[in-house]
Amino acid sequence: MEEADLLISPRWVIPVEPHGAVLEDHAVAVADGRITAVLPAAEAARRFPSAERVDRPAHVLLPGLVNAHTHAAMTLFRGLADDLPLQQWLGEHIWPAEQRWASSEFVRDGAELACVEMLRGGTTCLNDMYFFPDQTAQVAADTGIRAVVGMIVIEQPTPWAATVDEYFDKGLAVHDQFRGHPRIQTAFAPHAPYTVGDDSLRRLRKLADELDVQVHMHVHETANEISTAVAAHGRRPLARLAELGLLSPALAAVHMTQLTPDEITTLADTGASVVHCPESNLKLASGLCPVADLQAAGVNVALGTDGAASNNDLDMFGEMRTAALLAKSVAGDPAAVSAADALAMATINGARALGVAADTGSLVPGKSADMICLDLAHPATQPVYHPVSQVVYAATRDQVTDVWVGGQALIMQGELQLAHAADLEARAEGWRERVARTDV
């Protein structure tokens, strides 16, 4: 008799691969934290009679969502400086606040708040870029979420490091600390072309190749970034990155609101991914990513929330809906970026951008059992004609009832299975009191 530890039987399974597929009255079998089969529910009951059963008759089961770009600890700056232009927001509020408050304790508390918010909202994997990545990685390990943690590089002193050499040394130490961890990986995270010089980028590319890790970077975020780069370097940032050998399948280029047709072709030819952050870009008026054009060219487009300081939440359901609707408006085409496309951007495309698609992003036998259940028995999601459309256009993160990562239940019937997170609200309020007294 075949063995399975867990058998989840929802009304619908959306495996994401194949694209747009919906399986009704199917079940997912899990053994040792991995998916062993996706099959009709009646057959699953016969094949795996001793497995623990989780029946969700009004639910859809889908892969856990992948937040391909965030700054987790910035949850503690949520709402600190809203409705401001990007440079004023950064220069007058966020960077001064980080210089004053960013510390290992701040990052640990902020990252834990972020991880709990994301898990409750159905996100099972995050890609983080922030100071003290050792703390974020440890929080992710402790909470059970999957994470790719950035080895940040920026050519200015911060509370994390004072020199370029120190950024590299500390980042590599984090890489070594979590080497071999089943859920924690690292990536190089140079902040942006305008804050990292050519020598550092060459060094980073060489190390990324040697360690076989991804590179995660803000690129072409605003029109001002482009004009400043042309004035300083005589070329656009993407051309500079190409000359330095950074355009490859290992690059996850975040934002990309300023793109020419030739640049889109270059991205497609080199295999680089784009991480679209629609709500943050809208809030900061940074520009509009040409998602439909990227998709048509064959570029892998993933989704991220950015940090809670510029969003102001870590809600991937909101990002899916906004991404799909915004892309239709930008393209002038209601067929651009379908619901299935948006769901793929929030799952398998994100996993591909982070280099973790072998483990997560779809419900395929052999992959890690990173899964979420969504209750569609709500007035706002009834009746259900097309489950994928309902997930993207009507459902909210508050309808997530169950979350598993590697087969481990982290949310069960709406209840968080993490006792040590009980005082999170009190810790967040403590940070609010301190930060509010010093915000310029």
377-416 pLDDT, tens digit per residue, is 999 999 999 999 999 999 999 999 999 999 999 999 999 9
Stated pTM of the model: 0.97
Average pLDDT by stretches of 10, the chain with 440 residues: 89 98 98 97 95 97 98 97 88 90 96 97 98 98 97 96 98 98 98 96 98 98 95 95 98 98 98 98 95 98 97 97 98 97 98 98 98 97 98 98 98 88 88 82
Question: H helices within 121-222, ranges in order?
Answer: 133-143, 164-177, 198-211
Q: What is the pLDDT of residues 264-291, one digit of tens each?
A: 999 999 999 999 999 999 999 999 999 9
Contact yes or no for 311/283 (Cβ under 8 A): yes
DSSP string for residues in 11-69: EEE--SSSTT--EESEEEEEETTEEEEEEEHHHHHHH-TTSEEEEEEEEEEEEPEEEEE
In the chain, domain spans:
6-63+370-406, 65-354
The fold adopted by the segment(s) 65-354 is TIM Barrel (3.20.20)
Other C-beta atoms closer than 10 Å to the C-beta of 245 total 12
> Exposed, middle or buried by CB within 10 Å (0-12, 13-18, 19+), for 319?
buried
pLDDT digits (tens, 9 = 90+) for 153-179: 999 999 999 999 999 999 999 999 999
Residue 95 DSSP SS3: helix
**Residues 62, 374: contact at Cβ < 8 Å?**
yes
CATH of domain 6-63+370-406: 2.30.40.10
d(C-alpha 323, C-alpha 189), whole Å:
24
Contact at 8 Å (CB) between 137 and 184? yes
